[in-house]
Amino acid sequence: MNPPALPDQAQCALFLDFDGVLVEIAPRPQAVQVAPALPGLLRLLATRLGGRLAVVSGRPVAEIDDFLARAAPHAVGLHGAESRGPEGKVSRLRPPPGIAAARAVLATAANTHPALYLEDKGLALALHWRGAPELEDTARQAAEQALAAAGGSLQLQPGKMVAELKPEGVSKGAALAALMRAPPFAGARPLMLGDDLTDESAFEAARDLGGQGVLVGPPRKTAATAHLPDVGAVHRWLAALAEG
């Protein structure tokens, strides 16, 4: 796959994953480093694109906005369970009824194996084994048990060294399609940049709406139709797009 051609600013809508795309993945979610020039670059791009720029992440919107100094006019968090527009108000789904039961199962696993890290996002729960690859099977089993305990109100979202439980029916693809139905996105050609399995639904949604997905990182089976090798290449591509 090739790098994506630089799109026409007047017709492009940009959807950007955060971890592994705008920033390098860190051992723990709070440890990521944001390049000092990145918020300014995103602000410039958002202006050039008429506000058609959204960060679409598995993190809470508040974290994305903290890391990026609220540079993105639109932010989608928790895989689509939260969203914020330019007016600043964050809308979010109600907590799934089974999330307390799932949280208890995952907390037990994380207490039993301190090298596992439970990231409690309120509406979603992520069990990370990045610090202990040998605990992958243990973490996956705990996630399956937590899923069963939630009684169908949550679904499993596999990721890079993480198993995540998110509200049933929520996906980055659904979130992208929802944004594309309203101004300023409606009628534009969506480009989605992502690195992880959770981005595949958004690659498909972008393709179905006449745009394309861009896989960041090592090649793999994907719905994306273009490729950038790493975070540095993403930054250079974004800067070239901003220059027009």
Helix (H), strand (E), coil (C) string for the chain: CCCCCCCCCCCEEEEECCECCCECCCCCHHHCCCCCCHHHHHHHHHHHCCCCEEEECCCCHHHHHHHCCCCCCEEEEHHHCEEECCCCCEEECCCCCCHHHHHHHHHHHHHHCCCCEEEECCCCEEEECCCCHHHHHHHHHHHHHHHHHCCCCEEEEEECCEEEEEECCCCHHHHHHHHHCCCCCCCCEEEEEECCHHHHHHHHHHHHCCCEEEEECCCCCCCCCEEECCHHHHHHHHHHHHHC
Among 4, 7, 12, 20, binds Mg ion (CB under 5 A): 20
Tell me how far, at minimum, the Cβ of 195 lies from Mg ion, in Å.
4
Q: Which is nearer to Mg ion, 116 or 202 (CB)?
A: 202
Nearer to Mg ion, 20 or 167 (CB): 20
CB of 45 to Mg ion, least distance (A): 19
Smallest distance, Mg ion to C-beta of residue 55, A: 11
Among 4, 13, 14, 19, binds Mg ion (CB under 5 A): 19
17 is a catalytic site residue: yes
Number of chain residues interacting with Mg ion (CB under 5 A): 5
Q: Which CB, 98 or 190, lies closer to Mg ion?
A: 190
Our finding on whether 190 is near Mg ion (CB under 5 A) is: no
**Closest distance between Mg ion and the C-beta of residue 196, in Å?**
4
Which region, left, alpha or beta, applies to residue 47 given φ > 0 means left and ψ of -120 to 50 means alpha? alpha
CA 18 vs CA 157, 164, 165: distances in Å = 17, 16, 19
Which residues in 20-58 are b (16+ Cβ under 10 Å) and which e? bbbbebeeebeebeeeeebbebbbbbbebbbbbbbbbbb
Residue nearest to Mg ion (CB): 20
State in angstroms the smallest separation of the CB of 198 from Mg ion.
7
Span from 114-122, 173-181, 192-200, 218-226 in contact with Mg ion (CB under 5 A): 192-200
Name the one range near Mg ion by CB under 5 A: 17-25, 83-91, 136-144, 182-190: 17-25
The answer to whether 17 contacts Mg ion (rule: CB under 5 A) is yes
Which residues from 194-213 bind Mg ion, rule CB under 5 A? Answer: 195-196
Stretch that binds Mg ion, among 117-125, 179-187, 193-201, 221-229 (CB under 5 A): 193-201
Nearer to Mg ion, 20 or 60 (CB): 20
Of 66 and 243, the one with the shorter C-beta distance to Mg ion is 66
Q: Which residues carry out catalysis?
A: 17
Q: For binding to Mg ion (CB under 5 A), which residues are involved? A: 17, 19-20, 195-196
